[in-house]
Amino acid sequence: MHDDQGILTTAIQLIFTLEPELVEIVLLSLKVSITAVIMATLISIPLGTLLGTYRFRSRDFITGIINALMGLPPVVVGLAFYLLLSRSGPLGNLELLFTSSAMILAQCILITPIIISLTQQSIEDLFKQHELQFKALGAPTLLTLRPLLRDARTSLFTAVLAGFGRASAEVGAVLIVGGNINHLTRVMTTTIALETSKGNLELAMALGIILLIISFTITSLMIVVRKTQSV
Amino acid sequence: MQTNHHSLPLLLEDVAYEVDGLELIKDTNLKINSAGSTIILGHNGSGKSLLLKLLHGVITPSSGQITWNKNIPATNQYWRTFLLQRPTFFKQTVHYNIEFVLRIAQIPTNEHKTRCQQALEICGLTNISHQYTHSLSGGELQKLSLARAWVLKPTVVLLDEPTVALDPPSVIGFENIIRQFKQSGTKVIMTTHDLAQAKRLADEIVFIDAGKVIEQSPAEKFFSRPRSNQAQNFISGELI
């Protein structure tokens, strides 16, 4: 039987003493998630803006696909990447399997549809609000994008935060493509899964607390950003 | 009053506009060839705003033809500006919103500063040029809409019931700016259902009822001797 209070005390000690293994795992997790978010943002903001402002024939079809991809099961993404990146797979020669790069790619694929969709929604709402005015002014859509993106910046920031939240909490895909290798691909979520199964609950609890702090920080930031927008 | 205004005459030939089989503008023939201001007068829902949107090309007629002076290239429409009844603005400064119009009209950058200053001054916005639009009152926003038009130095300005939500002092300020447009040689075409305002501003009246132009005449004549029953009823109804 576990001593819950003892586990919690040790977990807090691990955090406050900046235990090297814990710090290494947290830093790698942040590196992977932040890189994935940056990559996804660079893809998603232009794509979301395009879908939110231009009307073209396959727009609804693409929007439907992106919305469907928002609910992608992470383990399926992990499996797909595993097959792609394994030695016998089409991208095997890149030797990315069981590296942090593979984890970044998997997280990027998982969060890109989320950021695209939220960006599209924000920009489309804003564009519709101004559409008649743009017609009256004779404003070409291309020239309206910069001010529209500026006006939507808080919503876009929220979208990016939502992406980061999803990425940092992801476990299935990164476990499959990263392999949870110590000092190489071991991140917070995969470590929690592993250490819990081993009965080493102190480290799992410490990482769990840090994940919760990250999650609360993101949620609080979203609330602050939304309040700023509504002022 | 005939004019050599280079944007005129404005000609509407058998113009109709329908939505889902419902004819909202019917069989309209109109020629506007006078300088100064033409007020399109009519009840709410008579089709005034639609007519203005048709004139600016925001919507296209279901049938018929609308032509401004054919010497003006159709591709460059920045000689004509359209003020919406409910204009929208970027959540940026007053100055930014005015300069944006210069950018889309591809006015050389070295002219931006002078033009913006002039527009801000004419519309009484100089002191709030660095204020953000969300902090402005309804009257200030309408003035900003006018400044956005002024900055392009248009030869024609179309205004869709621009003072409908303004208090009396703001209306007076707004009408003074419209008079300055007229004085600078800009043709003003404006819709309103406010008879008093039409009397104050109009050189010519186009009276529209149920999507059809009923009467077009000089303002003085329209108010003293309206020809149509609809116009007589409208005027007498307004005066009750």
Burial of A143 from C-beta contacts in 10 A (0-12 / 13-18 / 19+): middle
Fold of B34-58+76-239: Rossmann fold (3.40.50)
Of the partner residues B58, B104, B105, the one whose CB lies closest to the CB of residue A132: B58
**What pLDDT is recorded for position A3?**
75
End-to-end Cα distance, chain B: 32
Cβ–Cβ < 8 Å for A204, A192: yes
Chain A residues within 8 A of B96 when measuring between CB atoms: 147
pLDDT at position A102 over 50: yes
- Predicted confidence (pLDDT) per residue in B81-94, tens digit: 999 999 999 999 99
Chain A residues within 8 A of B103 when measuring between CB atoms: 143
C-alpha closest to that of A167 among A100, A68, A74: A74
Model-level pTM? 0.87
Rounded to a whole number of angstroms, the distance from the CA of B236 to the nearest CA of chain A is 34
* Separation between Cα atoms, residue B29 and residue B52, nearest integer Å: 14
* Separation between Cα atoms, residue A164 and residue A221, nearest integer Å: 12
Percent of chain B beyond pLDDT 70?
A: 93
**What pLDDT is recorded for position B193?**
87
- Determine, for residues B104 and A150 on separate chains, whether the beta-carbon distance falls below 8 Å: no
pLDDT at position A83 over 50: yes
Domain locations in chain B as residue ranges: 34-58+76-239
**What pLDDT is recorded for position B34?**
81
- Determine, for residues B96 and A147 on separate chains, whether the beta-carbon distance falls below 8 Å: yes
* Low-confidence winner among A210-214, B131-135, B162-166 (lowest mean pLDDT): B162-166
- Determine, for residues A151 and B90 on separate chains, whether the beta-carbon distance falls below 8 Å: yes
Rounded to a whole number of angstroms, the distance from the CA of B91 to the nearest CA of chain A is 6
Give residue for tokens 């299935």.
A172
pLDDT at position B240 over 70: no
Cβ–Cβ < 8 Å for A204, A195: yes
Q: What band does A169 get if pLDDT is binned at 50, 70 and 90?
A: very high
Cβ-based contacts under 8 A for chains A and B:
40
HSE at residue B197, side-chain half, CA atoms within 13 A, is 24
Burial of B34 from C-beta contacts in 10 A (0-12 / 13-18 / 19+): middle
Cβ–Cβ < 8 Å for A107, A32: yes
pLDDT at position A59 over 50: yes
Average pLDDT in chain B: 90
| A12 vs B5, residue with greater confidence | A12
Search chain A and give the residue with CA nearest B53: A136
CB crowding A83-121: b at 16 or more within 10 Å, else e: ebbeeeeeeeeeebbbbbbbbbbbbbbbbbbbbbbbbbb
ipTM of the complex: 0.89
Q: What band does B72 get if pLDDT is binned at 50, 70 and 90?
A: low
Mutation target among B52, B77, B97, B100 for the A interface, most CBs of A within 10 A:
B100
| B239 vs B50, residue with greater confidence | B50
Torsion of CA A174, A179, A184, A187, to 10 degrees: 40
**What pLDDT is recorded for position A133?**
95
Search chain A and give the residue with CA nearest B83: A136
**What pLDDT is recorded for position A110?**
96
**What pLDDT is recorded for position B239?**
45
Give residue for tokens 């928002």.
A70
Average pLDDT in chain A: 93
Search chain A and give the residue with CA nearest B77: A138
Rounded to a whole number of angstroms, the distance from the CA of B93 to the nearest CA of chain A is 11
Helix and strand element counts for chain A (H, E):
10, 0
* Separation between Cα atoms, residue B199 and residue A41, nearest integer Å: 57
**What pLDDT is recorded for position A228?**
73
* Separation between Cα atoms, residue B144 and residue A135, nearest integer Å: 18
pLDDT at position A8 over 80: yes
Domain locations in chain A as residue ranges: 23-230
Cβ–Cβ < 8 Å for A111, A167: yes
Of the partner residues B56, B88, B101, the one whose CB lies closest to the CB of residue A129: B88
**What pLDDT is recorded for position A225?**
80
The CATH H-level superfamily of A23-230 is MetI-like (1.10.3720.10)
**What pLDDT is recorded for position B1?**
47
* Separation between Cα atoms, residue A74 and residue A106, nearest integer Å: 8
